Amino acid sequence: MKVGILGSGPVARALGSGFHARGHEVVFGTRDPAKLDDWLAAHPGGRAAGLAEAAGHGELVVLAVKGSTAAEALRGADAGRTLAGTTVIDTTNPISDTPPVGGVLGYFTGPNESLMERLQAEFPEVRFVKAFNSVGNQAMVDPAFEGGPPTMFVCGDDARAKAEVTGVLDDFGWETEDMGPVEAARAIEPLCVLWCLPGLLHGRWDHAFKLVRAAS
C-alpha cells in the first residue's frame, strides 16, 4: 500500500517505521526534509517530498503534525484536491503553547468542539479518522503491555474509512473501539491530557489505555 505521512516529527517517524516494516511504500510530506535524514538512511525505499506530493501519493494518509499547524499543513497539501475521498488518520491534538498547569496540558479548543471537527468542516471531502492521539509515539507500533493489547479509541463519519484504519490498528497490535462520528473527538482528544499526566508529574510514559468489560 502507498502511505503518505504529513509531518516529520517523532509521531510521523514512528508510524512511518511501522508501515515500512510491513512492506508499505512510505512518502513523507515535510517542509524540513533534513529532519528525516537519519530515518531515510535506516529505511531504504522511503523518501521525503512536499506536502502535496505525499498527500497525492497516499492510498492512506497520516496527519502527524502539531495540532496548531494541522489546518495549515492540509492547506499546504491542497487537501481538498489531493485528499478528496482519501482516508486520513488524524493523530493530532489541540495542544496550546501555554505551559501545563499541575501537569495538565492546555488545549486551544473548547469543551464542546474538537480539532478534528474543525478539520472535517474545512475539508469535507477528506475521510478523517481520529487515532493514535492517546498514546506516546514509542508505543504506537507493536505495543507491549501487561494485560494484553491496549485499546485505541477511534471516531469519524465514514464507516469504510474507520474499517480501513481498524485494519491498520490490528496489524500494529491494537484493539480498536469505534466511538462513533466526528463529534466523539471531543472525548477522544482529551485522552492525551490524561495520558500525559503521569509523565509530566512523575516522568512515567510507559502506559496506555485499555477498555475492559464486565464478565459475562
As a dihedral over the C-alpha atoms of residue 70, residue 169, residue 15, residue 42, rounded to 10 degrees, the angle is -160
- Whether 28 is in a domain gets the answer yes
Span 73-129, pLDDT tens digits: 999 999 999 999 999 999 999 999 999 999 999 999 999 999 999 999 999 999 999
Q: Looking at the predicted structure, is the pLDDT value of residue 216 above 90?
A: no
Output the CA torsion 50→78→62→212 (10° steps): 160
Whether 211 maps to a domain, the answer reads no
Q: What is the pTM of this model?
A: 0.98
Give the rounded percent of residues in the chain with a pLDDT score beyond 70. 100
Q: Is residue 212 part of a domain?
A: no
Q: Which three cell numbers stand for residue 104?
A: 495538565
| Residue 216 located in a structural domain | no
Cα–Cα dist 121/91, whole Å:
17
* Helix, strand, or coil (residue 141): coil
| Residue 36 DSSP one-character state | G
| CATH number of the domain within which 6 lies | 3.40.50.720
Q: Is 207 within a domain?
A: no
What is the distance between the terminal CA atoms of the chain, rounded to a whole angstrom?
39
Task: Name the nearest CA neighbour of 139 among 209, 48, 38.
Answer: 209
What is the rounded average pLDDT of the residues 179-193?
99
Kindly report the average pLDDT of the chain as a whole number.
98
How high is the pLDDT of residue 93? 99
Residue 82 falls within a domain, yes or no? Answer: yes
Number of domains present in the structure of the chain? 1
Cα–Cα distances (Å) from 115 to 57, 62, 132, 158, 193, in that order, read 25, 15, 14, 17, 14
Q: What residues contact 114, with CB distance under 8 A and at least 6 apart?
A: 94, 182, 183, 185, 186, 188, 189
Structural domain boundaries, residue 26: 2-202
In a domain, 51, yes or no: yes
Q: For position 11, what pLDDT does the model report? A: 99
Instruction: For residue range 117-169, list pLDDT tens digits in order.
Output: 999 999 999 999 999 999 999 999 999 999 999 999 999 999 999 999 999 99
- What DSSP state is assigned to residue 6? E
Residue 120 lies in a domain: yes
Half-sphere exposure of 54 (CA within 13 A, CB side): 30
pLDDT surpassing 90 at residue 64: yes
